[in-house]
Structure formats: structure tokens, C-alpha cells
Structure 1
Amino acid sequence: MYKRNKLAVCLSLPSLIVSGHLAAQQLTDDIEKIEVTGRAQQFYLETESKIGTKTNMSLLELPQSAQVLTEQLIIDQAARNITDLYRSIAGVSEFSYSGVTFRGFRDDANVFYDGVRGDPYSGFGVPQLFNVTRVEVLKGPASALYGGGEPGGMINYVTKSPSFNEKRELKLTLGDYATRGASLDMTGALTEDTAYRLGGFYEQEDSFRNNADAKNTEIVGGLTFNLGDATTLTTTVDWIKQNLGGNRLRGVPVDDNGNFLVPPSYNANEKGDYQNMEALVLQAKLNHYFTDDFYVDSTLRYLDNERNQGYHESRSWVDVNGDGVANIDDQTIRREYRKQYRANKELSLTTDFGYLLNNGNIEHQLLFGTDMHTVDTEYDYSFARYEAAGIKNLNIFTLNYGLTDPSTYDLVDQERDGVDSDRFGIYLQDVIKFNEKWTLIAGLRYDHFKEYNQETGYSYSDHDVTPRAALTYQPKDDLSVYINYSESFNPTSANDQEDVISDGSLQPEKGKQTEIGMKNFWLDGKIMNTFAIYRINKENVVMANPNDTGTGDGIPALLNIGEVESNGFETTMVGDITDNWTITANYAYNDTRVIQGVTGVNITNTFGEGTKFANAPRHQIGLWNRFELESIDSSIAFGLNYVSEQLSLAGQKVKPFTVFDMSWTSRWDELLLSINVDNLFDKEYAVSGFSERNGHFPGSPRKVIAQLTYQF
């Protein structure tokens, strides 16, 4: 558990900042202040990002599909966690919790902060956006730069930093479901060479799901030091506390046509169930220029994360009517109670050396980098199963909450320990600019991966090499076309390897993508449009062996048994159509299917030949329009999110849905009022599907959120 001295850094930072700020007040009065004003919608379009090459590159030149969701878009949509933004990302849909379907593939772990691994919300938490200034999304395999992961893409959260600009912002939030909260964010100069940031955030809300609520607290601070003309050091601290009552949420039971059988408010959890998380993140970023053409960027990130959970999990139907078949017609479901403690101590270090070399008419932008990520875990797990342990069955139609008490359960300790992992990678990339029209990117990465099971003492290691090559042609300054080939690998866990140790090791899952695309600017650079066509093949997919009886027959439980193919295209448009009308819009088509599998396997295996992958919609549309009303210093916006039919993990239909949103903002000097209405027409829908007994994950009903922001 956390001890009080773990917050010493957080609690001592404010006194340092206040005393330094007073001492430097006269100094900062003399510093030239530059204030940028303009229409909010000008900030939707971001034209540069490091996400695709780890170097500053125009998104027009980047030969890969990528999106940047700016801070202004986050503000305008009143996005408070990442799930609020999925409609703005082409080819991404919600799977469960913060996990997504990325170009057809489920991805829960390919998450980075400031370009390095270390997600404080890992383990069923949902990332909050108070400390995030923008969200960067790279589509397709990213292993050539970022290491092992799924081939659909990756998400990078860019956190807010200290600034020499004096800014103080107070925000109050009030909304449906007893939503209320407040945040304070301050930046400025302490000395001529030292800047600070200090912020705090708190919000609580009930849920439309029974027995569920949420409380989120975050305290952040940071200092930036200019250590000479060529060196900058930024240190930050981030303390997060997330208490989720009854929030190890599963879905709502449905029929095979995707119709909810009970109201979407259904929840198998009891009122006292909980999912509590506390995390401390310490980070240091160093940038140094040896010469104008030679630099180093290095980021060190330490994460201490603890999660406690106690919740009721649906297990199986009870044969109440005595017909010999237990199914949903019996209305009553068995539950087990799970009590879990997880703790991660993670350390990440990423160091990149960049060198700009001119060789005659050819320009090379060389990148040499290395990264490491270690995770030391603790894991305790106990459970109580069904009626024998004192757990009352739940009637899903006539809910009988409150008849069961976890303090009386006969918990069985599973005596499990954690799995420690170590990753190390080294990579090289060259961006070769032959002339103003042709650019080639070539990259190669070596990864080494090792896991150790503390419970059994089993150790497993693996390695791989992943290449990447891409060519861009710019016939005009505002138009580019490209072709990209990239690979990914995802090593198998030690737990899975141990299951098949007597039968030889499992091969890492590997992905290969070919992408062809076009990007162009319209209206003198006010609008950027992208179009990409891709094919991804994922091989060596690890799945349950359909021939395994689980009776010690010597048949392996897991196999590398096939290949999945994802075909699709995406298009996005971001920017200003007129002086008063801005837009961000996207459309994605995707078809992800098993092309090599096990003939005759039921779809519940998700690996029958020709099977369409679960929670992989074929069509998606995301739209957000904002219209500026200059005469009254206000704006109005309308949004749309469409997701076509999907299949759950149990093969049940997930019905298509269209949800509309809107917002209104008005400004009076330093005050900004925004009112956002999500799910304007109160549509009942499911965002994705799960198992038959757990049903589909319901979307939120209509919700109104008002925010008042005061800058002083």
C-alpha cells in the first residue's frame, strides 16, 4: 500500500513554486508577453508531429496514416476521458473499458505517454485527460520504432508541461448523474531560466449503471530548467487516485439479434463492489544539442501503480425451471466474487540521437535510439464461487441486490504471484530526402523480451527484428502520395508459454502491413485531407486448441493456428471550411477475417475459417462541426458517431448505431461557459459485445455537462 512519504514530492512542490514565484514576480513583469488570439477552430488542424518518425516531420510528408487530436478539440467536445474521443479517430472503435478495436484488431496495451511505455491506468482503468494536451494516433504496425504490440496501431498521450507563459485557469463542472468537479491549472516563470506548472483535478459522478459511481483525483506539478542555450530539462510528477464503485463492469444480456433483455442500467455488481487505483508517475525529459545538427532526447519515466478490486462476476445460468437446460430463460445467474490486488513498479528509459547530414544534394535525417521497460509486479487473488460460498444468485429481471455480504464469503486464496517482464530495444532510422519531391524512410529495430513467473519460477525470453520502409512523392507543395510497408511482433506471455512447455514454444504473433495513401491541403492550407488503403496480415495467432479436452490428455491448450487478414480504407478531413466553420470528419471501412483457421470450429472460438473478427465494425463515421457566432462571441457545434453492425465474442449481433451530440460555448472576457449534450436523442445502443452470459456493453444515455472556465 502507499505510504505517506510517497507524496512528499507532490506536497513539497507547491511551497517551492509559491516562494519562487514571489521572488521572480518582478522579473517576469519584464519578460515580453506574447498573447496569441484567434478563432478556436484554427487549432483543430495540427500539421506536424513526432509520432511517426520520432523526429519533427510534417504530417503531409509522413508516409503513414496518423491523426493528432488537439487540446482545443478536447476542450470543445468536453472530453474528460479517452472514450469521449474515439469518434474522432478513423478506424478506432470501443471494445471494452479503455481497450479499442484498431483496424480490426483488439488492442489494450499499445499505449504510450510522451513516447514511452508506462500507462498509469493499466488494468481496467480509463485514462483521464486533465493532464493531456493532445492525443496522437499512429495507424498500422509501430514496432519498428516502439517495440512489440498489435498491428492495428498505437496511441500516444502528450502530457502538459511547465511553461514560461503566465496562465491560471480554474474550471468548474456540473452535470447529469450528480456530476460535479473542479480543476485548477497554473504555469509561469520562477526565474529567467526556470518555469513551473501546478495543477489539481477532482471529479465525481454517478453512473447510469446500477451500483456504479466514480471519483477521480489528480495532482500534477513540474519544473523546466533551461541549462544553457543548448540544454533543457523538464521534470514532472503526477499523482492519480481513481475510485470506481461497482465498476468492474460487464455488459447487459441480449438476444441473438442484439436486443437488450433487461434495461441498460443492469449491472451484476453489488453496491459495495469496488475498483480502486492509485498511481505515482515521476518523469524527466532531457534535450541537448551538441551542434545545430546533432542532438539527444532522453526520457526517464517511473511508475508506481496499485489496484484493489472486489467484484461479483457472472458465471453461468441456473436451471430454475428444471428442464435440464440452463439458459437465459431461467432468468437467474450464478456469480462468483473475486478479490484481487495488483501492483506494478515500472521503469522506462528512451534515448534518441538525431543527426542531420547533407551529402551533396541528398539530405539524411538519421535517428539512432534505444529503449528499455521493466515491470515488477505483485498479484494476490482469491475468490468465492457460487452458492456454496454464500453468494446469492442474481435474478436479472427482478434484481435482488443486497442479499449477499462479501465479509461472510468463504474465500479461496489462489496463492498467485506476479509476472515480471523486461523489454529492451535498439533501432535505426534514416529519412532520406532526395529532393523536394522524393523522400524515403527506412528503419530497422531489434527487440529482446523476457518474462519471469514469480509463482512457478518459469522464465521465457524471445527476440525479433522488425523492418519498415516507406516512400513519399510530392508533386506539389500541398499534395503527397506514399506507399508504406511495416511489420509488428507481439511476444507470447510466459503464462501462455508455460501452458505448452511440453510441446515446444509458441511463436510470437507477427503482423505485416502494406499501406498506400494520399494527403493534401485545401483552401490555402486551411483543410487537410488524408486517404489510406491498407492490408494487414497477422500470423501465428495464439488461440485455444479446439482439440484440447482439458483432462491431461497431453494435447496442448494453445496453438499458433492461423492467420487473420484486415483490409480497409480510411479518409479524414480536418480544418476550416470558412472563416466561421470548422470540421473534423472521418470515414473508415474495414473487413477483418480469419483466412487460415480450423475448419468446422464454432464461432465462439473466434477462429473458424472465414470467421469475421469480434467487435470489428465494417463501417464507421465520425463528424464534428463547429460554427462560430462572432456577433455574440459564441459558437455552436454538432457531432455524429456511426458504427455499423458487429459480432460479439459469442457470435451475437451488435446492432448498428448512430449517436448525435452538440455543444454551445459563450465567452465574456475571462469567462468561458460551455454546455455539451452527449447522445442528444437519448439513443439506446451497445458500443460492443462480450460473452453470452455478460451480454453487450451499453452506450451512455443522454447526458448534459456544463463547464465554467475562468482565466486569471
Structure 2
Amino acid sequence: MTIKNTQENPFRPRPTLLSIGLFFSSALLSMTALGASERETVELQEVEVKAEKQSDTKPVKGYNAKRSTSATRTDTELVNVPQAITVITRDFMQDQSMQSIADAVRYVPGVQAAQGEGNRDQLVLRGNQTTGDLFVDGLRDDIQTYRDLYNTDRIEVLKGPNGMIFGRGGAGGVVNRVSKKAGWDPVRDLSVSYGSFDHRRITADYGQGLSEELAFRLNAVYENSNSYRDGVELKRYGMTPTFTIKPGDKTEIVLSAEYFKDERTADRGIPSFIGGDNSNLNNRPYRIKDYDKFFGNAKLSPTETETVAFNAAISHAFDNGVQVKNSTRLAYYDKYYQNVYANSSVTTANTLQLGAYRDETKRENLINQTDITYTAKTGNVEHKLLAGTELAAQDTTNKRLTQGTSENLTGSVSADNPTVSNVAFNATSRNQKSDFTVAAIYLQDQIVFNPKWQAVLGLRHDHLETNYTDLRTGNFANINVTNNLLSPRAGLIYKPTTDSSLYASYSTSYVPRAGDQLIGLTVSTQSFKPEKFINKEVGAKWDINPNLALTAAIFQLERENVLAADPTNTGNSILLDGQETKGLEVGLSGKVTDQWQVMGAFTLQEGEITKQQGAGNSAILAGSNLAMTPTRTFSLWNKYQINDMWAVALGMVSRSEMYAATPTASQSTLLPGYTRFDAAIFAKLSPQWDAQINIENLTNKDYALFAHNNNNITPGAPLNARATLNYHF
């Protein structure tokens, strides 16, 4: 890594990036010109094969996905991928009435949702919190916002470092949304739902072939809902038109665009109170039974994100066996949020301090990826070869405003009436701009030695440049950082049978400081050093029957140079020397019988800081537990089809206690464990009409769902229900 201070224009042309891109593009074009070798003509006996036609608009049916292209960038059976992967299918999302990423990961082993300050998706994958490891169709989608699932066919969650495939980030894992695609199998669905706390939502999905070469699909959503939290509202709407063009059997072009707007109240939940357990060392959530009380001011806490994105993917299969796919994504994001929130624990005098700020971010992402695959044989050994490039540019501006010189508001308020009537955001605490570019090449070989043994070997090189500009200073101080990173991956697979596998894998990944990694960072040359992640994993996969899959993985994930929230100074970040997570993950998905479908996840894990950071009361001690990393989680959803008309479902979500933030020598907040039960009833009223009722928290359990830090804790929702009516025309 090289770092230099400069006053040069941060948006100057980059000859290194251009040269690498042109060189590798030329190499890729040369590969496509390879001629096919002569083959001996062999006359084969005619065989008739009968199978159910696969839908081109709903490629996965039921709860169990069999294949994926995300983990290897090639179409590979999941049982042959040396990595823990969970796929949330469209049928499962509909049965659970899911509308967010947080809803989906409840049934993914090793993954937790976090609060994200009430303005974004934030996940904890194997003990590592992230807002950037989110992708759509394999391309980065990393603005800090909430994503709706109205245009999503399935969600693929890949655990462990994924640097070889996804580049920067992908440390504890990645979440990839696979979009609904236009096809020739007609789609005509309209869905309306209404539920507790004035939940109101409508979605539409329409598509068909317009000609033999052209298909069209349109997905749209509108929602206007309230919440179990006082003053918290949500309004969002969006649409995604998609075209699929097939000028021939060997060429496919997919074009799509999306406009999506999300407006809601930024809800940071409730604070903790001092003491609360027998040892009097850990804080606990304050009055979790008062789940509806808003600490701060809901009307002064709006957040709004506007997303405009364009996507294009072109694939072609040459006669010589070479397949080429090129994908491009251009996305514009415009987001702001301001919040008035609890910025301290509740004292023994029943008072607390409030904080407030306004944050504004604009981002532009331009990403282009090219993948070339070719299958060859050396003797009896088969090789599926992948070569690829990624060229990307990301421009981000970010500004934060506070009242006066601090996020802390003057004075304290009573916990019985924890609000202020007005806040003036009149001081700029942060004003920065970053320009981040990527030029990457990667190579991979999926090797089949014989029916029992396979291997996956891959290596990626990323040339990364970050230009950071602090706009608050009079001379616009600029820092330029260059990183050249190598991300290897190696996996060995043993197949006892064709429908099972045992594997061992090793992978690394890096997280450079770019985009949201710079938000809240105290800028220095040391702070730009990339984080490094090393994952060692062994696992087993077994397709118990064609529609039911069982997976298990034991892992150890090490993290170096960790960027973490400062538990003693909200809004700032600190660097930690070491972190480790190790554990066991088990997943189950699919049909147990023709009538009984299940989706289950079980995790045992231990995440800790491996080296002491700091000194005194603010020290983070070696052996401290990681934030939002419970030792045990368990979830199981069962759906039973009683007859052609009726079906019922029962689910359970459970976790052990966990810390809201990594504890320091003087402060920690413990979120108690909980077990929650959910249920659903389904009715097929006619070929065109079906309905369902989803019930959450059947026993009306009081619990803390998740947190952002020690004093921003989200209470779980009480007993609530949602009715959905679907029309297929």
C-alpha cells in the first residue's frame, strides 16, 4: 500500500487503470478467437428424455435452490461449491410475507440483522458488521439504504470472505439479490396486503413475450404504513421494467432500469439503563415493555433515499465452446437522514442525554464486469476455466451537520418525557468527497479429477485508488491512496455420492477505505490501511432427496486492522488490531414430504477481540465478545399443505443473549435472549385467487430485536398480523 498527501485534482485520469483495462480486454478478445479442435464423429443411440419444463420467469420453485452462479461466476450445483451458501427463494419470501433483507436473514445461519440507525440495511455476518457487502445480480449495490424485495426472485447469502469473486469487501460474507427477469412464461400477479399498525402495501408483477426474440416484465410496489413505534412511518414506491432479447439461440441481452424511493422515520429505538443484572456490570434495555416510546423526536427524524439504476448484461456462446458475459451497472443514489436520538444510558436519576445530526450522501457507481468461461480436458481431468475483469468507479460526497460543535444536545431530559421540540442543524462537522476506482483481473479453475474428487482454485488482483478530499479545510486537503491486493481462494471437494460432498476451503479478502468506509473515520495515513480477513472452513452438503438439502460448516474467521465504532464517542471510529470468529452453522431447506416444507438454521459461534485495544475505562479488553454476535441462534419454519385448498405454517426464531456493542472496561449493554413464534394460514380460493394471513409473535413476547450501539436498541414488535390477497390474471 502506498499513501501520499497531494493537492492534485482527485478526479484526474488514471493511466494505470486504463492500461490494465485495455490490456486485459485485449487478452479476453484473443481467447474468444480460439478455434475448436477437430473431434472424431461418433454416432450415438437416440434417447428420449422427459422432464418438467423450467420456467424462465420463475427458475426456482419451493424452498430449495439447487444451483447458483454467484459463488463461482459459473452455473454450478450448490453441492459442488466449497462454501456455506443459503438461498432464500421467492416461494419462501412470499410465504413469510417478507419485505426486507432483515426479514430474509432470520433463516440464514451465521447472519444477524442490526439496527443500522434506523436508516439502512445493516448485517452481521460471522461477527462482522457491514452495510457495503450487498450486491444485485453480482454487481455492487452499497449505498446505505433499505432494499425492498418486490423485484427480487431470490436472495443468495454466501458466508466467509469472497474477495476472489466479489473483490473488495465480502469479508464475513455477501448478500446477493437475484432480480426477477423477463421471459416468455407469462406472469400476471397483483398482491394487496393490510395489517396491524396500518400496514398498507400493493405490488404488481406483469410480464410476457412480445415476440420470439423479445420479452418484457414490469415489477412495481407502493407502500404506506405506520409502525408499532410512536410517530414512526414508512412510505416507499418503485418500479423496475426489464427486457430480455434473444436474437439467436446463443446470445441473450438483458436490459433493466429501476426507480425506487424510500421515505421513513429514522428510528434508533430505546436506550439502556445502568446495571440490570446480578453482577451490576452490564446495562440492559430500558423498559422493553414500553416498546412504542420514541426517544428523541420522530418528526425531526426523517430519512429519504432515491435510487436510479440502469443495468445491462450481454452473454454469448461461441461455437468453439467459449462463453462470454459482460455486465454493466450505472446507479445514482441520493440520501439524507436526520435524527434526534438517545445518546446515553438512563441514569439512576431517570434522566438521559439526547443527540442529533443531519447526514447527506450522494453517490454514483459505474461498474463493468466481463467473464469468459471455457471447459477443457487434460487427459481424464476436466477444467472449467474462468477469466474475468472488473472496472469500476465510485464517486461519493458526504456532509454531516450538527447543532453547535457536537452531536450531544445541551442538558438532559427525563426518561418519562424523552424529547426536544426543536433542533437547529447549523454547524458542519463533516464535509468530504471520495473518488474510488477499481481495475481487477481474476482467474479460476474448477477441476474435476474423477467422480470422487474436485477442486476450486482462484486468484484475484485488485488495483485500487482512493482519492479523499476534506472539503472543510480552506485548502481542500487531499489524500491519495493506492492498494494492490491479491485475494486467493482454494477449495477441495470429496464426493462420497453424487448428491453429497465434503469440503475444505481457504480464502482471504480485503476491505479498503472507500465510500461508506470513510464515513465517521478519523482520517490519517494509518486509517487508510485495508482490513484483512482470512477464512478457514470445512463443511458437508447432502441432498437428502431431490427437494431437500442439509448443509453444515465449521469455520474460523480472522480479522486484522478492524474499523469499529468507538463505544465511548458516538459517531467516531477506532482501529482494532485483532478479531476472531469461529463456529458451526447448519442449514436445512426443502420438502420433507410432498406436503411438508421446511426452512431451518442453527448456529453456534464465538466472536472475540484477540488483542487489547486502548487503556483505562475506554479499553477494549482481549477476550471481549463481539457486538451483535450471539453464541446461539435457531430458526425453523414449517409449512404443511393440508389439501389442495388449505395450508398452515408455524415458525420459531430464537437466539441467546448478545452484546449491543463490543464491551469496554467500563461499559457494556447486554440484550437478553428470546424465543418468538410465528404462524400463517394459506387458502387457495380459486385458480385466480389465493390469500394468506401471517401472524408474528404469537405469545406477545417482550424482547430486544437488535441494536446499533449500547444506547440505540430496537424493541421487537408485539403480536401483529398481516393479511394478503393475491390475484393471478
> Scaled by the length of structure 2, what TM-score is found?
0.83
The aligned amino acid for 2:96 is Q
CA contact (8 A) 1:686 1:697 kept: yes
Query: What is the rounded CA distance, in whole Å, between the counterparts of 1:436 and 1:45 in structure 2?
Result: 24
Moved more, 336-345 or 64-73: 336-345
Query: What is the rounded CA distance, in whole Å, between the counterparts of 1:676 and 1:388 in structure 2?
Result: 40
Out of 56, 68, 80, which is 2:87 matched to?
68
1:639 aligns with 2:651: yes
Name 1:266's counterpart in structure 2: 293
Query: What is the rounded CA distance, in whole Å, between the counterparts of 1:686 and 1:390 in structure 2?
Result: 26
Moved more, 505-514 or 456-465: 505-514
CA contact (8 A) 1:41 1:575 kept: no
Name 1:171's counterpart in structure 2: 191
1:216 aligns with 2:236: yes
Q: 1:374 to 1:331 in 2, by over 3 A?
A: farther
Name 1:593's counterpart in structure 2: 608
Q: 1:689 to 1:546 in 2, by over 3 A?
A: closer
Moved more, 479-488 or 143-152: 143-152
TM-superposed deviation, 1:232:
0.8
CA contact (8 A) 1:544 1:559 kept: yes
Q: 1:111 to 1:515 in 2, by over 3 A?
A: same
Query: What is the rounded CA distance, in whole Å, between the counterparts of 2:59 and 2:460 in structure 1?
Result: 40
CA contact (8 A) 2:266 2:298 kept: no
The aligned amino acid for 2:137 is D
1:373 aligns with 2:399: no
Quote the sequence identity (%). 25
TM-superposed deviation, 1:662:
0.6
TM-superposed deviation, 1:288:
0.8
Query: What is the rounded CA distance, in whole Å, between the counterparts of 1:628 and 1:272 in structure 2?
Result: 47
**Deviation per residue, 1:378-423 (Å, 9 max, x gap):** 3333221499999885432134x5x6234xx361234613222222
Query: What is the rounded CA distance, in whole Å, between the counterparts of 1:498 and 1:585 in structure 2?
Result: 38
Residue correspondences, number: 648
Name 2:363's counterpart in structure 1: 344
Q: After superposition, where does 1:174-323 map in structure 2 within 5 Å?
A: 174-244=194-264, 246-257=265-276, 258-261=284-287, 263-267=290-294, 268-291=296-319, 293-316=321-344
Query: What is the rounded CA distance, in whole Å, between the counterparts of 2:162 and 2:395 in structure 1?
Result: 25
Q: 1:201 to 1:495 in 2, by over 3 A?
A: closer
The aligned amino acid for 1:461 is T
Query: What is the rounded CA distance, in whole Å, between the counterparts of 1:592 and 1:389 in structure 2?
Result: 31
1:652 aligns with 2:673: no
CA contact (8 A) 2:162 2:171 kept: yes
TM-superposed deviation, 1:109:
1.1
TM-superposed deviation, 1:250:
4.2
TM-superposed deviation, 1:41:
11
CA contact (8 A) 1:420 1:451 kept: yes
Name 1:382's counterpart in structure 2: 401
CA contact (8 A) 2:268 2:713 kept: no
Q: 1:251 to 1:298 in 2, by over 3 A?
A: farther
**Deviation per residue, 1:429-488 (Å, 9 max, x gap):** 000111111111100011122222232322222221011111101121122111111111
Query: What is the rounded CA distance, in whole Å, between the counterparts of 2:77 and 2:700 in structure 1?
Result: 40
1:641 partner SS: strand
Q: 1:143 to 1:427 in 2, by over 3 A?
A: same
Name 1:662's counterpart in structure 2: 679
Q: 1:506 to 1:341 in 2, by over 3 A?
A: closer
Moved more, 384-393 or 470-479: 384-393
Q: What runs of 5+ residues in structure 1 fail to find an aligned partner?
A: 1-32, 318-326, 549-556
Q: 1:595 to 1:188 in 2, by over 3 A?
A: same
2:86 partner SS: strand
Name 2:537's counterpart in structure 1: 515
TM-superposed deviation, 1:61:
1.1
CA contact (8 A) 1:384 1:411 kept: yes
Out of 689, 701, 718, which is 1:671 matched to?
689
Q: After superposition, where does 1:78-89 map in structure 2 within 5 Å?
A: 78-89=97-108
Q: 1:140 to 1:201 in 2, by over 3 A?
A: same
> Scaled by the length of structure 1, what TM-score is found?
0.85
Query: What is the rounded CA distance, in whole Å, between the counterparts of 1:158 and 1:575 in structure 2?
Result: 19
Q: 1:564 to 1:293 in 2, by over 3 A?
A: same
Query: What is the rounded CA distance, in whole Å, between the counterparts of 1:68 and 1:315 in structure 2?
Result: 38
2:102 partner SS: helix
Name 1:614's counterpart in structure 2: 627
CA contact (8 A) 1:387 1:393 kept: no
Out of 51, 56, 76, which is 1:57 matched to?
76
Query: What is the rounded CA distance, in whole Å, between the counterparts of 1:252 and 1:442 in structure 2?
Result: 48
CA contact (8 A) 2:680 2:695 kept: yes
Moved more, 90-99 or 134-143: 90-99
Name 2:639's counterpart in structure 1: 626
TM-superposed deviation, 1:497:
12
Query: What is the rounded CA distance, in whole Å, between the counterparts of 2:428 and 2:723 in structure 1?
Result: 46
Name 1:13's counterpart in structure 2: none
Query: What is the rounded CA distance, in whole Å, between the counterparts of 1:101 and 1:427 in structure 2?
Result: 27
CA contact (8 A) 1:141 1:152 kept: yes
Q: 1:341 to 1:537 in 2, by over 3 A?
A: closer
Name 2:136's counterpart in structure 1: 113
Name 2:17's counterpart in structure 1: none
The aligned amino acid for 1:682 is N
CA contact (8 A) 1:519 1:531 kept: yes
Q: 1:209 to 1:510 in 2, by over 3 A?
A: same
**Deviation per residue, 1:336-361 (Å, 9 max, x gap):** 44223211111111111111112221
Name 1:473's counterpart in structure 2: 494
The aligned amino acid for 1:77 is Q
The aligned amino acid for 1:300 is T
Moved more, 373-382 or 328-337: 328-337
TM-superposed deviation, 1:561:
4.9
Out of 124, 127, 136, which is 1:104 matched to?
127
CA contact (8 A) 2:342 2:712 kept: no
The aligned amino acid for 2:257 is V
Query: What is the rounded CA distance, in whole Å, between the counterparts of 2:128 and 2:408 in structure 1?
Result: 38
Query: What is the rounded CA distance, in whole Å, between the counterparts of 1:144 and 1:202 in structure 2?
Result: 38
TM-superposed deviation, 1:251:
3.7
1:161 partner SS: coil
CA contact (8 A) 2:462 2:485 kept: yes
Query: CA RMSD of the aligned region, Å?
Result: 2.9
Name 1:699's counterpart in structure 2: 716
TM-superposed deviation, 1:513:
1.2
CA contact (8 A) 2:270 2:285 kept: no
Name 1:131's counterpart in structure 2: 151
The aligned amino acid for 2:484 is H
TM-superposed deviation, 1:150:
4.9
TM-superposed deviation, 1:619:
0.5
Q: 1:611 to 1:360 in 2, by over 3 A?
A: same
The aligned amino acid for 1:103 is R
CA contact (8 A) 2:274 2:348 kept: no
TM-superposed deviation, 1:70:
0.6
**Deviation per residue, 1:80-116 (Å, 9 max, x gap):** 1111122210111122232121112212211110001
Q: 1:218 to 1:387 in 2, by over 3 A?
A: closer
**Deviation per residue, 1:27-58 (Å, 9 max, x gap):** xxxxxx9797xx99961111111122111111
1:291 partner SS: coil
Q: 1:389 to 1:329 in 2, by over 3 A?
A: closer
Query: What is the rounded CA distance, in whole Å, between the counterparts of 1:116 and 1:544 in structure 2?
Result: 27
Query: What is the rounded CA distance, in whole Å, between the counterparts of 1:313 and 1:209 in structure 2?
Result: 14
TM-superposed deviation, 1:126:
2.0
